[in-house]
Amino acid sequence: MSQGPLKAVPQLVSILLLAGVSLAVWTAWLGWDQHRDVQPDGTTTGPYEAWQVIGLVLALLVPVYWAASRRYIAGAVLGTTAGLTVAAYYDWSDDSSGLFMVGVGLIMVGSLAVTAVVSAIASAKRRVGRPRGH
């Protein structure tokens, strides 16, 4: 009896789980800050500070590394990318210029690249640390 479809279930669950984690982490680090700061010269910055983005990245390293080290590569890469892309779209979609889609695209491409690299490192570390014959 083939168990092919059953092997796909944990990968699908990992994708959904990492997408949910990514949405929650985005909300915790960035979702609450919608205020732009006006500088003395009249320019605006924000709404996020560098420490918030750094916190988001560091907080996501743990679940991405965990999933990838357990061979849930699809969850680590696709789930995290999907969660961050959806969060960015929802958070920025009130921009009337439409340029928010450029930012959403950059979030998607950047998170896809970074999670792929982190997943490759986590997967390689697991292979190196595994005893021969297993």
Residue type, position 117, single letter: V
Average pLDDT over residues 69-87: 96
- Is 127 or 26 the better-scoring residue by pLDDT? 26
- Domain definitions of the chain by residue range: 4-129
pLDDT at 56 over 70: yes
User: Which pLDDT score, from 0 to 100, does residue 108 have?
Assistant: 98
Query: pTM for this one?
Result: 0.85
Average pLDDT over residues 76-91: 97
